[in-house]
Structure formats: structure tokens, C-alpha cells
Structure 1
Amino acid sequence: METATTYGARAHARAQEGARAEAMPVVPATDWPDPPRDAGRLVWAETVGGGGYAHRVLARGTELRLTDLRGDACAHLLLFVADRPWERLNTADTVKVQWNAYLGEGRLLLSDQGRVLASVVADSSGRHDALCGTSTLVRNTERYGDGTPQSATPAGRELFKLAALKNGLGPRDLPPSLSFFQGVEVGKDGALAFTGSAGPGASVTLRAEQDLTVLLANVPHPVDPRPDYRSTPLEVLAWRARATGPGDALWDASPEGRRAFLNTTEFLAARGLA
């Protein structure tokens, strides 16, 4: 189709309406072709390609399911309270408060205010990491020859910078991230052993316990020993649900978790949000 003129370019652009690419958001999300059976109304439906990123603001109680479609996705995650971005994911407290460095079903993702940002309500992968963070420009340049966002081997932190800017945040707002679908284990000598992926189709479901700004970067894990840049598509689906409340099994799973939920609820109640 001729695109040398404004009319031709417009016709070409309009001809793309309704086309689907492998990696793209579906708008509206309710048009997603195969929604989960147990999901409520979809509010976010997107496939994030290898080396890509995504971001969205989600309401309290929303459930977010990430799926490793082909076995080589690695979902690096950052969370910020939507109207208070200075309250954000704190990986050190997430590990320290729960006496456990390994993420999985029943774990909570905490801020440095002693409050719950999100909870892990389902997990079929078990290959996650709260220790290493994501890849950097310097590291990817040394390893692959480039780490800029526009390259074939973008670094996770560089993609996070782009996602952050689109939500009014800057590089100084970016703390260490969590990683889903590519895990590490700590040996008795303190060395990290890469455990890799659980394989295609593994998923993890998070529940937003406050209104959250979610940033995702789908890039290889920084300690993945394979010499080439391997990153395959990540499916992202979110739907309306409800926040965790008293009486839920997750609320009382541990004394530390119960205290974090109480801190969260008291804070939200004071603002008329719970």
C-alpha cells in the first residue's frame, strides 16, 4: 500500500485495525479470546514479548496472573502504591519479615512501611527470586554487547526506567525488583545456584492489597548462565476480585503476615478506603 502521501499513510494505518500481533495488549481486555474460568471481569490482558515491558495501575483487590507461555519468560516486578509512590516494594523486608527468601503461594509482597502491597494466592512454578534484582545496562553490555531499551538485548533496569517515566516516576524511584519464573537457590556456602524455569505454562497469581502501580520487565535473569539472550513471551491477565480480609486463610497464615495485614487495613481505614 502506498504510504508516501498523508492519505496513503492514513489508509495504511487504518487497515491495521483489528490486526493481532504475538505481543500486544488487548483493548478492551474483555475481548481476550480465552479468559480464565475462575476469573472475574478482565481489566488487563496483554502478551509481553521477550525483551519487552508493561505497566498498569490496578485497584485494590484485583488479581494479576502471570504465565510463562514457552518456558523462558522471566517476569521482573516492581510495585508502588498508586497515589503514594514513595511506598513501594521492599524486597529486603519481604524476605526478612517472613523469615523466608523463597517466594511462593501464601507469601506477601511488603513495603518498608510494614504493609502488604500484594499477596501470592496461587503458584504452579516455584521458580522465583527475591535476591538478585534485574539486569543492568553495564552488565548486559559486557555480556551481550548492548543493553539499551531499543537493542535486541535490553536490560531490565533500562525497561523499568521507561515504564516508570510513563507513570511519573524516575530512575531514583526504582528499588530492587522481584523475579518470577527463573529461580535461584542459596547454597550452604552462600553461593547462588540458578534453578531455571519450571517449563511452559507455569503461572503465578498475585492479589493487590492496595491500589498499585505495576511495572513489569520480561528479560533474562541476571545470573542465567546461558550465553545467549533467551526471553520468551509472558502472558499478563488481571481481573476484578476482592482484597484479603479477616477470616481468609492467608490473613492468619503467620503472625508476621497478620500484623502486616492489620497495618494495611488500619492505614486504609483511616483514609476511608477500607
Structure 2
Amino acid sequence: MTASSTSTTAGAREHARAQEAAAAGAVRARPVLPASAWPTPPEGVAPEDLVWAETVAGGGYTHLSVARGTHVRLTDLDGDACAHLLAYDAAQPWERLNVADTVKVQWQVYLTTGHLLLSDQGRALASVVEDTSGHHDTLFGTSTRARNEARYGDGAAHGPSPAGRELFALAAAKHGLTRRDLPPSLSFFQGVRVDEHGAPHHHGSAGAGAHVTLVAETALVLLVANTAHPLDARERFTCTPLEVVAWRGEPTAPTDPRWDATPEGRRALTNTAASLATRTARPTAGAAR
């Protein structure tokens, strides 16, 4: 499109609409819809309970703020998505996902159903309540611009092979966060296993339709970058669409079996509950009713 074609309001409008159509084509040409009208809601979830629904193209990103108890489902639609994730306490974003603590506190490097995403304060930010993939990675983070430039020839956020760190920086800025606020991330749908000699092996995807569901144990800001895994050895940048759907729900409660599933998990969930209790004001005696 020439510069003159956007020099008028009508030309700029047509250009913007063409860009939207191009983006839609990259994610199966799905129309823009309210969450309640999403054509593929999770089984058993009432349409009116859906609060977020979108498809993120390969090489794209999203960011969302969710209330405590919100369920967030990530789905690898075509079998080559890679959802790199960061999570922050929405009320105090200096408290954020700590992948190292998530791994060592729970004695588990391979996250799946029943595991927690822990903060750097020993609190549970989210729980993994469903996982049909089993192909995830907590060790190798996301890609950098330098790495993608060396591998694919470009790593810019708006280029053909965007790096995860560049996409996270854009998503973070929407919430007043900077590159200094980007800790190591974890990723879903591209499996990595470490052999007995300590060497990592990229196992790829579990296949189209695999999904992971998280429950927010406190109000969260979530950043998601859908881009190729840094250990993906394919010469060509490969990343397919990711579906992100969220709906209203309840956080883990002491009556839930997940609360006492492990002593480490119980301690993290208790720490979260205690922190939230200090943020809730008690009604003043004699207050107006």
C-alpha cells in the first residue's frame, strides 16, 4: 500500500480493515465476537460465564487481567502452538511467577494437573486443574531476539519470527511493566525432557486440541506469548494458533481435595489465603446498612 493511500480518512480506514482481515486469516478467519458468543466454549461452561475468548496467531501475544477464581484454558488448536506464560499478582505486580520456586518447592520439574504456579513470596498464584497435553517446559524459558536472529534471521516483535522476550515486553507495557519486570517464563505444549546425563530433548507437541486449564488463586495479570520454543530445532519458524478462553469460577478452597494434596501445596495456598485476608477491610461497627 502506498503512502498516498492512507493520506485520507477513507484510505486509512480501508488500510486498517485490511490489516484486521489479514490478522484474522492467520487465525482461521474467525469474526470478532463477545466471549459469551464464542463458538467453542469449554464443556459444561455456561456462555454467560465466559469472560474472555480469543485466538492468538502464531507469533502473536495477548495479556489479560483476571479475577480470583477465574479459570483460564489454553488450547493448542493445530498442534504447533507454544504458550509462554508469565503471571503477576494484579494488586502488587512485584509479586510474580517464580519458575525456580515452582519447580523446587513442589519437587517436580514436569508440571501437570495438580501442580501450582508459585510466586517469589511462596504463595500460589494459580493451580493447574486440567492438562491433556503433558508436553510442557519449566527449564528453558522463552526465546530472545539475538537467538531468533541467529536461527531465523529476525527476532523483532513485528517480524516474521518474533522472539518471546520481545512479545512479553509489548504485553508487559500494557500493564505499566518494563523489561526489568520480565522473569523467566514457563511454556505449555512443547515438551522438553532431560535425560540421565542432563541433556535436554525437545519432544514437540502432544497434538492438535491439547489444552491446559489454570485457576487463578488470586487476581492476576497474565502475559502470553505464542511463539516457537527456543529448543525447537526446525530451520523454519513454526508456530500455530493458540486459543485462550476464560470463565468465572471459584479458587481452591480448604474443602477442595487439591488443598491438602501435598504439604507444599497446602502451605502455598494457605500463604495466599493469609495474604488476601490482610487486604480485606473488616466492616466498621455501626456502619450504615
> How far apart are the structure 1 equivalents of 2:76 and 2:235?
21
Q: CA deviation at 1:147?
A: 0.2
Question: Is the counterpart of residue 132 in structure 1 residue 140 in structure 2?
Answer: yes
Question: Is the counterpart of residue 269 in structure 1 residue 277 in structure 2?
Answer: yes
Question: Is the counterpart of residue 154 in structure 1 residue 177 in structure 2?
Answer: no
> How far apart are the structure 1 equivalents of 2:189 and 2:16?
36
Describe the SS at the equivalent of 1:134: coil
Amino acid at match of 2:9: T
> For the Cα contact (< 8 Å) 1:25–1:46, is it kept in 2?
no
Q: CA deviation at 1:150?
A: 1.2
Task: Name the residue aligned to 1:30.
Answer: 36
Shift of the 90–26 alpha-carbon distance from structure 1 to 2, 3 Å rule, reads farther
Describe the SS at the equivalent of 1:243: coil
CA RMSD in angstroms, aligned pairs only: 2.4
Task: Name the residue aligned to 1:179.
Answer: 187
User: Any idea what the Cα deviations from partners look like across 1:133-189, whole Å, max 9, x if unmatched?
Assistant: 000011001111110011100000000000001110000000000100001111111
Task: Name the residue aligned to 1:189.
Answer: 197
The residue correspondences of 1:79-98 to structure 2 (distance < 5 A) are 79-98=87-106
Describe the SS at the equivalent of 2:95: strand
Q: CA deviation at 1:10?
A: 4.8
Shift of the 18–161 alpha-carbon distance from structure 1 to 2, 3 Å rule, reads closer
Question: Is the counterpart of residue 106 in structure 1 residue 114 in structure 2?
Answer: yes
Match of 2:234 among 213, 226, 237: 226
> How far apart are the structure 2 equivalents of 1:19 and 1:232?
15
> How far apart are the structure 1 equivalents of 2:210 and 2:170?
27
Q: CA deviation at 1:267?
A: 0.9
Larger Rg: 2
> How far apart are the structure 1 equivalents of 2:146 and 2:20?
39
Amino acid at match of 1:167: H
Describe the SS at the equivalent of 1:207: strand
Amino acid at match of 1:39: V
Q: CA deviation at 1:25?
A: 8.7
Q: Which runs of 5+ in 1 are unaligned?
A: none
Shift of the 192–124 alpha-carbon distance from structure 1 to 2, 3 Å rule, reads same
| Count of residues in Structure 1 that have an aligned counterpart in Structure 2 | 273
> For the Cα contact (< 8 Å) 2:216–2:251, is it kept in 1?
yes
User: Any idea what the Cα deviations from partners look like across 1:59-118, whole Å, max 9, x if unmatched?
Assistant: 000000000000000000000011211100000000000000001000000001110000
How high is the sequence identity, in percent, across the aligned residues?
63
> For the Cα contact (< 8 Å) 2:24–2:31, is it kept in 1?
no
